[in-house]
Copies of this chain bind each other. A is one copy, B any other.
Amino acid sequence: MDSLAQLRTRLRAFASARDWEQFHTPKNLAMALGGEAGELVAEMQWLGDTEIDDELSQGKLRQRLSDEAADVLLYLIRLTDVCDIDPVAAAQEKIDRNESRYPQQLSRGNTAKYTQLSSPEEST
C-alpha cells in the first residue's frame, strides 16, 4: 500500500477515535500546518550552511528536522484529505508545469521566476 495512503488511513482513525473531526476544518488544519512549517524554519535560523551540514552529519539537527518535517507532512495529508484533494496528483501536475515554465537552457544555474525568464539572445 502506498505510504501516503497508509498515513492518511492512520490519521483518519486517530482523529475519529478521539472525536477530533470537529476540530479538523480546512482552516484549522492550514493554521496547524503553518505553525509546524514555522517551527521547521526556526530550527535553522541562526545556523550557517556549513554548520547545518556539520550538525546534520553528527545527527543532532537531523532528528529535530525529522520531527518537524513529520508534523508538516501529517497536517498536509490530513488537510488534503478533508478537502478531498489528491496531493500526489497535484504535485505531479506541478512538476509537469514547472518543466515547461523553466526550460533547461534558460534556467540553468539561475533561479529567476518563470515570469522573468527571457529567451536567450540570438546570435547574429
Contact = CB atoms under 8 A, between A and B. Distances in A.
Interface of A: 2-4, 6-7, 10-11, 14, 17-20, 22-23, 25-28, 30-47, 49, 52, 56, 62, 65-67, 69-74, 76-77, 79-80, 83-88, 90-95, 98-99, 102, 104, 107-109, 111
* Number of chain copies forming the complex: 4
Contact of A39 (B6, B32, B38): B38
13 contacts: A3-B4, A7-B88, A26-B56, A27-B47, A31-B34, A32-B46, A33-B40, A34-B37, A36-B38, A62-B84, A69-B79, A72-B76, A74-B95
A3 B8 CA distance: 13
